[in-house]
């Protein structure tokens, strides 16, 4: 375990002005707070925060970050509080430690929801101060180095979480060295046999080709020196997980991989980078499609370098990365390189935000994802944002848009602006009209066609790649559905107030919101529209003195049809075409109406039928013809019955659902004749089912789309006139 003076010495090596007293006090406080606590390995628990601090000293971070690392588990695992940390070490360090503390006493059903909520808290803390991320990654790295001491049932979960979230997050922040180690430690835990096999093959390959690597290094160095370019050349072998991922992604065997060895050339200036490329491409043939210039177009994680692959000495494919020393530092340490001590002082938050594209991306992503999504959605969208490599596309005005590989023009539109994505209806790629689901390639110029008032189809959510697009589509879909339910709810509530002899107003309802436990008027109206709140409750919230008298529904009177008893019990006013309109009745249109309305599943309803609406929680209104026997199920629930009327547009006729049963001779051509009658009448067939087949007759159940009752009766009469038809009946439930 690292001693107190060793911690101070490690910090003072890169920061001679380090606050020795602060470091000493943090060491002593954490040691006392953790006391006799032990890790799974049996070591004192205090050894863990010290190792985390040691990892961060290698990144040359400021005193506050090192102290936060030493204290990072005190609030979570000991009796310490944020207030106590703030009093002893200052509010800055207390905020860092609190950002690293998991939420306690979470009343959540699933482990996934708990994980997601803690991850949301962590990322929001990172958005405030990136040093929270650096401590968390160092914490996870040390935990992965000692994962073999953890019980097997927890081991795989931690490794998978590391591979899913923390390794990609380190990569997105440009910390490639840390990402590689996290990936390989996770790979070793999750797939030990694959890890062992690939490691053994790499060791054997290195043993056989060790001399070749040295020869290529020497030849490259000599060639560049001859041309007057000073460069450091280092050969390296790919890590096991990187090899495994490439084999899996490209479906290749180990023997088919041609770029297991790579060479890094570190030069003095950006101009030298391009001079090196000129020398290399002149001396050796290039491999087509393997040249990438991340200096002129850096990655979002600030990575800058030129990649190329040539057929080098011994006809061996050689992958080269060319960069300056500053680029190399950022490639290894990423965002931490921006926080390194420069001239004896650490970069402040404002400087870090300005300099680091990776941190700007992270803050922007978190802000977008944090708006209104559940913790699980937040975690899902964050994973989507972290995982993919990138393609670079352009707007017609030349703005560069970085997207994940596999992204579509829909993703592109949302990356430009949420409003553009929501209103997108088409696109042009490189001047040619293309489908919105086309896969974008590097260098594509994308122009989005839009239409105001457009709502993105819900199906887009499963087709896009980026988390931002998914979140925006889901939110727009929810808003559209919510508006439908709120519109329906308003009509129901207005009708309820009229029935009670009261006047409805938004102002009065706003005052009553606390009684209804809702935040806004739209919340109340949408809840009523969904059937989660009854209109009578809204009336009573606004007028507490109001008492609604509800009588139990009587059974059918003698000599009266069953439907008549239901009609009396529900006190429903029925509307037929041409009848006077009553303001309290809700107008019902066809299958494409704006309200969340569906028709009775067993037979539907058509204009000309006397109808009743049943409010179903979460589904809106279900329309039944009054003769439907299914209505008996709602006999004792009069609060769910609604006055509804047909709202027909004579200029734009709409279809309505109806079901008939045709009893016909079992002979060739019978179904064709029936279908021809229906088609000639201008109706549609939605579904056909055969029942009660016999050698002579069979029942054909037809779900139709017709304009009204007159249209339906005409079709039924035409069918009855056919010689092969014995009987035609309409189904009403």
- Please give the positions annotated as active site: 76-77
How far from 191 is each of 178, 197, 240, 250, 477, CA to CA, in Å? 20, 10, 11, 19, 40
Q: Who contacts 545 (Cβ-Cβ below 8 Å, separation ≥6)?
A: none
What six digits make up the tokens of 86?
A: 């703030």
Q: What are phi and psi of 267, to 5 degrees?
A: -115, 180
Find tokens 């207030």 and name the residue: 83
Q: Of 201, 200, 265, nearest to 230 (Cα)?
A: 265
Distance CA 98, CA 68 (A): 9
User: Which run of H or E residues covers position 281?
Assistant: helix 270-283
Long-range contacts of 512-515 (CB under 8 A, 24+ apart): 512/538, 512/541, 512/542, 515/541
Distance CA 121, CA 283 (A): 53
Beta strands in 647-713 (DSSP E): 656-665, 684-691, 697-706
Distance CA 131, CA 373 (A): 25
Q: What are phi and psi of 402, to 5 degrees?
A: -90, 130
CB atoms within 10 A of CB 161: 15
Q: What are phi and psi of 690, to 5 degrees?
A: -105, 135
**How many CA atoms within 13 Å lie on the side-chain side of 92?**
11
Strands 656-665 and 644-646: unpaired
User: Which run of H or E residues covers position 354?
Assistant: helix 349-355
Distance CA 352, CA 134 (A): 13
Polymer length in residues for the chain: 733
Distance CA 61, CA 11 (A): 8
Q: Who contacts 164 (Cβ-Cβ below 8 Å, separation ≥6)?
A: 383
Distance CA 528, CA 539 (A): 12
Q: What number of H helices and E strands is found in the chain?
A: 30, 20
Distance CA 642, CA 624 (A): 11
- What is the 8-class DSSP label of residue 315? G
How far from 694 is each of 665, 666, 667, 675, 724, CA to CA, in Å? 9, 8, 11, 21, 15
Beta bridge pairs of residue 411: none
- With contact defined as beta carbons under 8 Å apart, do 662 and 674 qualify? yes
Distance CA 340, CA 684 (A): 72
């Amino acid at each position: 375990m690292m001693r107190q003076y060793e911690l101070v010495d490690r910090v003072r090596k890169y920061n001679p002005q380090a606050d020795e007293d602060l470091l000493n006090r943090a060491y002593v406080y954490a040691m006392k707070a953790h006391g006799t606590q032990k890790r799974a390995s049996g070591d004192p628990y205090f050894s863990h925060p010290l190792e985390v601090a040691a990892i961060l000293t290698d990144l040359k971070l400021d005193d506050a970050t090192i102290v936060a690392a030493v204290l990072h588990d005190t609030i979570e695992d000991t009796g310490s509080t944020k207030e106590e940390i703030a009093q002893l070490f200052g509010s800055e360090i207390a905020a860092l430690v609190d950002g690293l503390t998991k939420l306690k006493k979470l009343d959540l059903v699933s482990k996934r929801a708990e994980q997601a909520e803690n991850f949301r808290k962590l990322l929001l803390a990172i958005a405030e101060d990136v040093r929270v991320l650096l401590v968390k990654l160092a914490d996870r790295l040390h935990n992965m180095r000692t994962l073999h001491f953890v019980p097997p049932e927890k081991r795989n979960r931690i490794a998978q979480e590391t591979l899913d979230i923390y390794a990609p997050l380190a990569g997105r922040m440009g910390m490639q060295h840390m990402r590689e180690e996290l990936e390989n430690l996770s790979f070793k835990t999750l797939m030990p046999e694959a890890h062992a096999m690939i490691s053994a093959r790499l060791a054997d390959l290195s043993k056989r080709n060790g001399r070749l690597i040295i020869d290529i290094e020497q030849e490259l160095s000599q060639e560049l020196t001859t041309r007057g370019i000073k460069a450091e050349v280092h050969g390296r072998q790919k890590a096991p997980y990187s090899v495994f991922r490439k084999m899996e992604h490209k479906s290749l065997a180990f023997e088919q991989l041609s770029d297991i060895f790579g060479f890094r050339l570190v030069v003095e200036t950006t101009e030298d980078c391009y001079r090196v490329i000129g020398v290399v491409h002149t001396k050796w043939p290039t491999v087509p499609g393997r040249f990438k210039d991340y200096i002129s177009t850096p990655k979002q994680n600030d990575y800058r370098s030129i990649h190329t692959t040539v057929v080098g000495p011994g006809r061996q494919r050689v992958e080269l990365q060319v960069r300056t020393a500053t680029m190399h530092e950022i490639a290894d340490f990423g965002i931490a390189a921006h926080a390194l001590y420069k001239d004896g002082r650490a970069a402040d938050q404002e400087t870090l935000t300005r300099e680091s594209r990776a941190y700007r991306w992270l803050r922007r992503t978190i802000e977008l994802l944090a708006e209104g999504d559940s913790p699980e959605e937040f975690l899902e969208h964050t994973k989507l944002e972290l995982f993919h490599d990138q393609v670079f596309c352009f707007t017609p005005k030349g703005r560069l848009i970085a997207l994940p590989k596999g992204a579509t023009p829909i993703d592109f539109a949302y990356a430009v602006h949420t409003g553009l994505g929501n209103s997108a209806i088409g696109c042009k790629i490189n001047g040619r009209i293309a489908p919105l689901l086309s896969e974008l390639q590097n260098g594509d110029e994308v122009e989005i066609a839009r239409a105001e008032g457009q709502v993105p189809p819900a199906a887009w959510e499963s087709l896009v790649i980026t988390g931002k697009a998914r979140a925006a589509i889901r939110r727009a879909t929810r808003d559209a559905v919510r508006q439908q339910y709120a519109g329906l709810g308003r009509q129901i509530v207005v009708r309820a107030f009229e029935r009670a002899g009261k006047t409805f107003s938004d102002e009065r309802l706003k005052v009553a919101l606390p009684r209804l436990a809702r935040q806004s008027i739209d919340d109340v109206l949408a809840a009523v529209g969904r059937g989660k709140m009854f209109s009578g409750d809204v009336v009573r919230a606004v007028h507490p003195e109001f008492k609604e008298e509800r009588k139990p529904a009587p059974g059918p009177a003698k000599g009266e049809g069953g439907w008549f008893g239901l009609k009396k019990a529900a006190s429903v006013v029925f509307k037929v075409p041409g009848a006077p309109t009553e303001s309290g009745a809700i107008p019902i249109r066809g299958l494409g109406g704006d309200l969340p309305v569906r028709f009775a599943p067993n037979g539907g309803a058509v204009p000309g039928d006397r109808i009743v609406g049943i409010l179903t929680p979460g589904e809106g209104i279900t329309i039944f013809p009054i003769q439907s026997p299914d209505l008996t199920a709602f006999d004792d629930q009069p609060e769910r019955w609604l006055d509804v009327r047909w709202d027909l547009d004579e200029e734009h006729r709409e279809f309505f659902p109806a079901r008939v049963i045709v009893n016909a001779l079992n002979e060739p051509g019978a179904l064709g004749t029936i279908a021809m009658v229906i088609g000639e009448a201008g109706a549609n067939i939605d579904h056909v089912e055969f029942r009660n087949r016999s050698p002579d007759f069979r029942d054909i159940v037809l779900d139709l789309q017709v304009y009204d009752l007159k249209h339906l009766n005409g079709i039924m009469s035409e069918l009855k006139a056919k010689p092969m038809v014995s009987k035609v009946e309409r189904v009403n439930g």
